[in-house]
C-alpha cells in the first residue's frame, strides 16, 4: 500500500522510508531525554512506520508512550538537524563504551569482526551499517542524541511527517532468546495527518474483521491444543466454504483440459534429493521414519510427485500438453511464533496444477491459466495487478537454460498479457533461476494487496527428473513445466475472503443462505416446507444440496430472530405468518436491512438461484 490516492503531492517510497527511519531516531532521542540511562538496540524503518528496541528501567505502557510521543513532538519543533560524524571504528567502540551503550558496542564489534552483512542479517536493520570492509563508521547527531547509523535521513526534524506511537512488544536482542529482552516501541508515520488517520482507521477496520475472531464466531474453523498450533480443523461450515471455492476452480479448469490426480502425502527423501529441494528445505520439513528404517518426509510441495506421473510412461508430442491438477495439503515445519490464524499455518492446502508442454506451447498454456485466474477473481470484485518477473540478461550464468529458451518464454508470457489487453509491470532480475513467472496481486476491500495467484515456468525440474517426450522428428526432447496456483493456498485465501467480506459472504459462498422465521408456532410446518423446497432446487454446482436454509423455531421474538440471523451474516431472512402462508409467499429481508416485502415463493427461489449460479457479489 502506498500513499493514499487522494493525496495531491505523492511522496516516494524511498523518501517515506527516510522519514520513517528518521522518526525512529526522534523516538530514541525522546527516550534518551526522558531516561538518560536508556540503552539502544536497533531502530529501522518498517512498512508504514518504524520501531526502536530499547532498554529502560521502566515498563513502557500507554502512559509512557504518551510521554515519549509528547517529547518527540517537542524535539521535532526544535528543528534539529541530522549531523553526520565519521569515526574510525576503534574510536567508535571506545566512544560507545564511554556512553554505556553496550548494544551499540556489540554491533560495532560484530561489524569490525564479521562485516556489515552479519549485522544486517542478525538484527534485521540494514540502516546501522555501511558497505562491507570499511574502517570508519558514521554516526548521526540529533540534538543531544548520537546514533550509529549509515543514514540517509531528513535534514531537519521538522521534515518528519505525521506520526503516532502504537504498541510495545518484547524483543530479544539480536533475535536470540538467550539475550536480554528489550522493549520494542512501534510507531506509524505518514507524510500527512490525513494519511495517518486513514491508515489508523483501516487498522481498526482490519481488527474488526480479523478472520481469527470471525472464523470462531461464524463456526468455520478451530484449533486444538491436542492437535497443535498451525494445524486448523475445519468445521462442516468451513469445509463447505472450502469445497465451494475448490469446486469453482475445478469448474473453470476442467473444460480447459485439466485432469485430476492424487498423490501420497509422504515420500522418500530421495524425491527431494533428486529435485534439489533437500539441500534448501530439509530444515523446514516434518520427517517420518518407517518401520524398515527408511526415511520419509511429509510433502512440502507437490511438483516433484507430479513429475513422476508424467514420467510413468513414454510421452509423445501428441500427448502434450498434459495438465495435472489436485487440491492437496502440504506441510511445513514453521516455528510456532510465526504462525497466525489461517494466514500462516503448518498445513497448507494448495489448488495445485502442473502443465507439461513443449517449449512452443507455453503461450497457449499460460493463456489458459490466465483465463482461469481472471474468471475466478471476477466475482470477488478484487482488482488484480500483474507483475512479470524476468531474468537478468546481464548475468545468464545465474540461470538455468539457454538465452533462446529464456527470451522465447518471456516473449510468450508477454504476448499472453498483450492478448488479454492488461497493463503489467516487468521486473528484470526478479525471476527464479529456473524460469520467468507472472504474479497476480489482489486488492481487498481494505485496499490491502495479497499475492495469491501465479504462473511459473520451470526449466529445472524436467532437467532434474530427466523428463522427456518424443518429438515429431522421433528425437527425445525436454518438456517445459508450468506451475500454477489460482487461490494460492486455500487457508490463506479463506483468511483473505473472511476479512474482505467481514464475514458477510455473498449468497453463493454463504454456508447458510436463508433462514426462515415463523411468526408463531402455527407457521412452523409451512416454514419447514419452504426449507425443504429450497433444499431441492437443483443447482449447477451441485454442492450443499440445493439452496441451504433452516427454520429458526426458537422461542425468541421475530425481531430477535432477525437480529440473530443478521449477526450470523445470513444473506436472506424469510418471514412467514398467516398471510404469507395463505398466499404461498414469504416476506423477504436482507441481512443489510433492506426489506423486499412479501414475494411469492417461486420468485424468491428464482432470485436466489440466479444469484448463486452467477456468483453475484452481494444481494441488493
Q: Is residue 18 classed as helix, strand or coil in its secondary structure?
A: helix
Give me the DSSP letters along 136-178.
EEEEEEETTEEEE------SBGGG--EEEEEEEEEEEGGG-TT
141 and 82 Cβ atoms separated by less than 8 Å? yes
Number of residues that bind Zn ion (CB under 5 A): 3
- Comparison of 437 and 615: residue with beta carbon closer to Zn ion: 437
Min dist CB 44 to Zn ion, Å, is: 9
Q: Is 392 a catalytic residue?
A: no
The catalytic residue among 346, 483, 548, 561 is 483
CB of 92 to Zn ion, least distance (A): 15
Instruction: State the nearest-atom distance from the C-beta of 152 to Zn ion, in Å.
Output: 8
**Other CB atoms within 10 Å distance of the CB of residue 130:** 15
Q: Is 149 in the site for Zn ion (CB under 5 A)?
A: yes
Show Cβ contacts of residue 504 under 8 Å, excluding neighbours closer than 6 positions: 569, 571, 591, 618
How far is residue 170 from each of residues 54, 143, 167, 183, 314, measured CA to CA in Å? 10, 28, 10, 5, 58
* Minimum CB distance to Zn ion smaller for 134 or for 616: 134
Secondary structure of residue 191 in the 3-state scheme: coil
- Rounded distance, CA 505 to CA 487, Å? 17
130 given a catalytic annotation: no
Task: Give the active site residue among 53, 125, 147, 352.
Answer: 352
Active-site residue (options: 104, 209, 211, 332) = 332
Catalytic residue among 101, 253, 350, 361: 350
Side by side, the strands of the sheet bearing 549-551 are: 549-551, 514-518, 572-576, 585-590, 595-600
Nearer to Zn ion, 149 or 442 (CB): 149
Of 306 and 569, nearer to Zn ion (C-beta) is: 306
Residue 228 or 264: the one with the smaller Cβ distance to Zn ion is 264
- The one segment of 148-156, 204-212, 229-237, 281-289 that binds Zn ion by CB under 5 A: 148-156
Instruction: Pick the closest to residue 596 from 613, 614, 579, 571 (CA basis).
Output: 571
Toward Zn ion, which CB reaches closer, 303 or 598?
A: 303
Q: How far is the CB of 217 from Zn ion (least distance, A)?
A: 35
DSSP 523: G
Closer Cβ to Zn ion, 28 or 386, answer by number:
28
Rounded Cα–Cα distance for residues 377 and 39 (Å): 50
Select which of 354, 548, 561, 615 is catalytic.
354
SS3 content of the chain, % helix, strand, coil (to 5): 40, 25, 30
Cα–Cα distance, 436 to 438 (Å, whole number): 7
357 counts as catalytic: no
- Closer CB to Zn ion, residue 139 or residue 572? 139
Distance CA 224, CA 240 (A): 20
> Please, what is the minimum distance in Å from the beta carbon of residue 402 to Zn ion?
22
Q: Which of residues 364-383 bind Zn ion (CB under 5 A)?
A: none
- Secondary element (H or E) of residue 75: helix 62-77
- In whole angstroms, the minimum distance from the beta carbon of 592 to Zn ion comes to 41
Closest distance between Zn ion and the C-beta of residue 439, in Å? Answer: 14
Give the Å distances, CA to CA, from 107 to 103, 131, 149, 605.
Answer: 6, 14, 11, 69
Minimum distance of Zn ion from residue 58's CB (angstroms): 25
Binding region for Zn ion (CB under 5 A) out of 141-149, 169-177, 308-316, 598-606? 141-149
Residue 374 annotated among the catalytic residues of the structure: no
Q: State the Cα–Cα distance between residues 291 and 288, nearest whole angstrom.
A: 10
Q: x-or-dash pattern for Zn ion, window 65-104, by CB under 5 A? A: ----------------------------------------
Site pattern 466..505 for Zn ion (x: CB under 5 A): -----------------x----------------------
Q: Is 21 a catalytic residue?
A: no
The helix/strand/coil state of 613 is helix
Name the segment binding Zn ion (CB under 5 A); options: 92-100, 298-306, 410-418, 529-537: 298-306
Binding site residues, Zn ion, CB under 5 A? 149, 303, 483
Catalytic residues: 303, 332, 350, 352, 354, 437, 483
Amino acid at each position: 500500500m502506498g500513499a493514499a490516492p487522494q493525496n495531491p503531492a505523492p511522496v516516494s517510497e524511498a523518501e517515506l522510508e527516510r522519514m520513517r527511519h528518521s522518526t525512529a531516531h526522534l523516538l530514541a532521542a525522546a527516550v534518551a531525554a526522558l531516561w538518560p540511562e536508556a540503552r539502544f538496540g536497533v531502530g529501522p524503518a518498517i512498512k508504514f512506520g518504524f520501531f526502536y528496541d530499547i532498554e529502560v528501567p521502566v515498563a513502557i505502557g500507554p502512559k509512557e508512550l504518551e510521554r515519549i510521543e509528547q517529547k518527540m513532538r517537542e524535539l521535532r519543533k526544535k528543528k534539529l538537524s541530522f549531523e553526520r560524524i565519521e569515526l574510525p571504528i576503534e574510536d567508535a567502540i571506545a566512544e560507545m563504551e564511554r556512553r554505556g551503550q553496550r548494544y551499540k558496542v556489540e554491533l560495532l564489534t560484530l561489524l569490525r569482526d564479521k562485516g556489515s552483512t552479519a549485522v544486517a542479517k542478525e538484527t534485521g536493520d540494514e540502516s546501522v551499517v555501511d558497505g562491507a570492509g570499511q574502517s570508519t563508521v558514521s554516526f548521526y547527531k540529533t540534538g543531544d542524541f548520537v546514533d550509529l547509523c549509515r543514514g540517509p535521513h531528513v535534514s531537519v526534524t521538522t521534515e518528519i511527517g505525521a506520526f503516532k506511537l502504537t504498541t510495545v512488544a518484547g524483543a530479544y536482542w539480536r533475535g536470540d532468546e538467550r539475550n536480554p529482552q528489550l522493549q520494542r516501541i512501534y510507531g506509524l508515520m505518514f507524510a500527512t495527518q490525513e494519511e495517518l488517520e486513514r491508515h489508523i482507521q483501516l487498522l481498526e477496520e482490519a481488527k474488526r474483521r480479523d478472520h481469527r475472531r470471525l472464523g470462531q464466531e461464524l463456526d468455520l474453523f478451530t484449533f486444538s491444543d491436542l492437535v497443535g498450533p498451525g494445524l486448523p480443523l475445519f468445521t462442516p461450515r468451513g469445509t463447505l466454504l472450502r469445497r465451494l471455492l475448490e469446486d469453482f476452480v475445478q469448474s473453470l479448469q476442467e473444460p480447459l483440459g485439466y485432469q485430476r490426480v492424487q498423490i501420497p502425502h509422504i515420500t522418500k527423501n530421495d524425491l527431494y534429493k533428486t529435485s534439489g529441494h533437500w539441500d534448501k528445505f530439509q530444515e523446514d520439513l516434518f520427517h517420518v521414519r518407517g518401520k524398515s528404517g527408511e526415511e520419509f518426509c511429509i510433502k512440502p510441495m507437490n511438483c516433484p510427485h507430479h513429475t513422476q506421473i508424467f514420467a510413468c510412461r513414454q510421452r509423445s508430442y501428441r500427448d502434450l500438453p498434459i495438465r495435472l491438477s489436485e487440491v492437496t495439503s502440504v506441510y511445513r515445519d514453521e516455528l510456532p511464533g510465526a504462525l497466525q490464524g489461517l494466514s500462516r499455518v503448518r498445513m497448507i492446502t494448495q489448488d495445485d496444477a502442473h502443465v507439461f508442454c513443449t517449449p512452443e506451447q507455453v503461450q497457449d498454456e499460460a493463456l489458459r491459466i490466465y483465463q482461469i485466474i481472471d474468471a475466478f477473481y471476477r466475482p470477488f470484485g478484487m482488482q488484480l495487478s500483474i507483475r512479470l518477473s524476468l531474468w537478468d540478461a546481464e548475468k545468464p550464468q545465474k540461470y538455468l537454460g539457454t538465452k533462446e529458451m529464456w527470451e522465447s518464454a518471456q516473449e510468450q508470457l508477454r504476448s499472453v498479457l498483450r492478448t488479454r489487453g492488461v497493463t503489467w509491470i516487468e521486473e528484470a532480475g526478479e525471476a527464479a533461476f529456473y524460469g520467468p513467472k507472472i504474479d497476480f496481486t489482489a486488492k481487498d476491500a481494505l485496499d490491502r494487496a495479497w499475492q495469491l495467484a501465479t504462473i511459473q515456468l520451470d526449466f529445472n525440474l524436467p532437467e532434474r527428473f530427466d523428463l522427456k517426450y518424443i518429438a515429431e522428428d522421433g528425437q527425445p526432447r525436454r518438456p517445459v513445466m508450468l506451475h500454477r496456483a489460482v487461490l494460492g493456498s486455500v487457508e490463506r485465501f479463506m483468511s483473505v475472503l473472511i476479512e474482505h467480506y467481514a464475514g458477510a459472504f455473498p449468497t453463493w459462498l454463504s454456508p447458510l443462505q436463508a433462514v426462515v422465521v415463523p411468526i408463531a408456532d402455527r407457521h412452523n410446518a409451512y416454514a419447514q416446507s419452504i426449507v425443504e423446497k429450497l433444499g431441492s432446487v437443483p443447482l449447477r454446482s451441485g454442492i450443499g444440496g440445493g439452496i441451504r436454509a433452516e427454520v429458526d423455531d426458537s422461542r425468541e421474538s421475530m425481531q430477535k430472530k432477525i437480529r440473530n440471523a443478521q449477526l450470523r451474516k445470513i444473506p436472506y431472512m424469510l418471514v412467514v405468518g398467516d398471510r404469507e402462508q395463505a398466499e404461498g409467499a414469504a416476506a423477504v429481508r436482507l441481512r443489510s436491512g433492506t426489506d423486499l416485502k412479501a414475494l411469492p415463493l417461486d420468485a424468491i427461489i428464482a432470485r436466489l438461484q440466479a444469484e448463486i449460479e452467477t456468483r453475484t457479489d452481494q444481494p441488493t
